[in-house]
Amino acid sequence: MNRFVAFICVSLFPSAVFAAEGHGEAVGPALPQMDVATFPSQLFWLLICFGALFWFMSSVAIPRLGKVRKSREDTLEGDLALARQYKQQADDEVAAYDALIRAAYAEAGAQLQAAEVQIRANAEAQIDAFRARASALIEEAEREIESMRRESLKSIDQIAAEVAVLAAEKIVGLPADIDQARSVVQTLNQKAA
């Protein structure tokens, strides 16, 4: 409300002054602008004032404003450049990290593969060794069986000869020669073979 009253008062003030100003009659031409006598003074003071303003503007105000605007532009540009630089750095870091991760994956893969190859080779070598050992054992066992068979065949000949001698004595009552019997058995064996 106070503000409104103040606004009204300020608004009305010009009218009051415009209405009141200027007592005493004008001298010179009807239009004061056409009073040539005032021209030198107006031109003189215009030259001084406009000259001073032009000097002030061109040598003080404009350079100062231009400088501050330039420095603002530079600051903004510098900040942006710094931001770009930081972004570049961050991008580089990310790229390096990615490369590192990729390298680690690759290495892990290679190691896995190497380990697999190694394991396979070990297993094959062990299987081969086992097979060799097993066949050696089997061979030996076979040999042993063979020799035992031979031994037992020999004993069977002896037993057959002895049985023949004893049988001849008991059944026929003839004393028989053991060596003769053995040679007969051998002859029979050879015939069988």
Partner 1 sequence: MAGPLHQFQIQKIVPLEIAGADVSFTNSALWMVLGLATAFIFFGLSTRKAGVVPGRLQMASEVLYEFIGNMVRDNIGKKGYVYFPFIFSVFIFILLANLLGLIPGSFTPTSHIIVTAALGLTVFAGVTVFGLWNHGLHFFSIFCPPGVPLPLKFLIIPIEIFTFLFKPLTLAIRLFANMMAGHVMLKIFASFGPMLITLGFLGYAMSILPVVTNVAVYALELLVAILQAYIFAILSCIYLKDTVELHH
Q: Where do contacts with partner 1 occur on this chain (CB under 8 A)?
A: 11-19, 21-26, 28, 30-35, 37-46, 49-50, 52-54, 56-58, 60-62, 64-69, 71-72, 75
- Contacts of residue 28, defined as CB under 8 A and 6 or more positions apart, other chains included, come to 35, 37
CA distances from 155 to 37, 144, 148 (A): 173, 16, 10
CB 42, min distance to partner 1, A? 5
CB 6, min distance to partner 1, A? 14
- Comparing CB distances to partner 1, the nearer of 11 and 190 is 11
Judge contact between 28 and 37, C-beta under 8 A: yes
- Comparing CB distances to partner 1, the nearer of 13 and 97 is 13
> Which residues in 2-36 are b (16+ Cβ under 10 Å) and which e?
eeeeeeeeeeeeeeeeeeeeeeeeeeeeeeeeeee
CB 82, min distance to partner 1, A? 15
- Comparing CB distances to partner 1, the nearer of 66 and 109 is 66
CB 106, min distance to partner 1, A? 51
